[in-house]
Amino acid sequence: MTSTTHSPVAAPLAPPAAHTSSSARPPSPEYRAWLAREQRRRHWIVLARAALLLASLALWEYLARAQIVNPMLTSYPSALWPTFLDLLRNGKLAMHTWTTLAATLVGFGLSMLIGTAVAAGLWWSGFAYKVLDPFLVVANAMPKIAFVPIFYLWLGSDYSVYGMAVAIAVFVTIMVVYDGFQSIDPNKIKLAQTLGASRAQVLRLVVLPGSVPTLIAALKMNIGLALVGVIVGEFQSANAGLGYLIVNGSQIFKLNIVMTAIVVLAVLSGLMYLAIARLEAVVAKRYG
């Protein structure tokens, strides 16, 4: 009798077992409670900021209305809104605001480009850094307002504001960015050099990406410093801009115009800072 041999038949693949990973589990009650506390805390912070702003405006209004302070010298919040609308309707506010904003952005961009390039050069050559370091320290410590008449003679009334913006911001940029370059882990630089990277490749692939937080910090400082430089330049030589509007309003004793321009200047600086903070959040997701 011949024995029958059966060839094995492949069994159908069984569906994979369900994996119960910790990431698939719902958050714990403690974690949800912590999230709720953090959300309430953020809400309270926003409410506290709004309350502080409203209280400051109410105190300003009261002190002026009660003649505790001279309203001719300080104005008061309820008088600023009609002035704001009047300047908005005749187009002066938009023109002066745009003039200041454009000059600030140009000075800000030039300061970052020049400052980063000089800092890279100083990182590249230790000899150049040792030679230029005392001059950079002295230039950064000098009161930049002393340069206003020089820039006015060199650049004229239209471009002297750009010179002031760069003069105030560029030296801080050089020193901050250079310190960031120097703080890069030397082991990373040695590793790149061991793999055959040139000094330019080390700068481009190791130093610059590793200095992104420092560059963001320099952006935050520079946007305010460039604005300060533009306003100082407009105080002295410009015929347009929020700085010019402030000086012109004070000369004709129209404090409503002065205070309105100052409020617009505060809003403008806040918006520019928020733009840099948004950029920082986007960059943190990539390099964080």
Write the pLDDT tens digit of every residue in 125-183.
Answer: 889 889 988 898 888 888 888 888 888 888 877 788 888 889 888 988 999 999 989 88
List Cα–Cα distances, 94 to 83, 98, 206, 210, 240, in angstroms: 13, 6, 43, 40, 11
Mean pLDDT of 222-230: 89
State the pLDDT confidence band at 192, using cuts at 50, 70 and 90. Answer: confident
Which amino acid is residue 6, in one-letter code?
Answer: H
* Distance of alpha carbon 54 from alpha carbon 52, whole angstroms: 6
Residue 8 has pLDDT above 70, yes or no: no
Residue 286 has pLDDT above 80, yes or no: no
Out of 61-65, 153-157, 246-250, least confident range: 153-157
pLDDT in tens, 262-282: 999 999 998 998 888 888 888
For residue 52, what are its two tokens? 């502080």
In this prediction, residue 50 carries a pLDDT of 92
E strand or H helix at 104, and its extent?
helix 92-124
C-alpha dihedral, 63 to 52 to 267 to 225, nearest 10°: 100
User: Is the four-CA dihedral 36, 39, 41, 43 of positive or negative sign?
Assistant: negative
State the pLDDT confidence band at 80, using cuts at 50, 70 and 90. Answer: confident
List Cα–Cα distances, 179 to 133, 166, 214, in angstroms: 12, 20, 8
* pLDDT more than 90, % of the chain: 18
More confident residue, 6 or 35: 35
Closest CA to 226 of 101, 96, 99: 101
State the pLDDT confidence band at 106, using cuts at 50, 70 and 90. Answer: very high
Mean pLDDT of 40-57: 92
* pLDDT more than 70, % of the chain: 90
* Distance of alpha carbon 166 from alpha carbon 160, whole angstroms: 10
* Distance of alpha carbon 227 from alpha carbon 142, whole angstroms: 18
More confident residue, 19 or 31: 31
CB 135 within 8 A of CB 261: no
Mean pLDDT of 88-102: 88
Residue whose pair of structure tokens reads 């990182």 in the numeric block: 123
For residue 213, what are its two tokens? 């937080």
* Distance of alpha carbon 212 from alpha carbon 9, whole angstroms: 61
Among 10-19, 64-73, 101-110, 202-211, top mean pLDDT goes to: 101-110
In this prediction, residue 115 carries a pLDDT of 92
In this prediction, residue 161 carries a pLDDT of 87
Mean pLDDT of 204-220: 87
DSSP state of 146: G
The whole-model pTM stands at: 0.76
CB 225 within 8 A of CB 172: yes
For residue 13, what are its two tokens? 């693949």
In this prediction, residue 288 carries a pLDDT of 57
Residue 18 has pLDDT above 60, yes or no: no
Closest CA to 144 of 246, 235, 218: 235
CB 174 within 8 A of CB 128: no
E strand or H helix at 153, and its extent?
helix 148-182
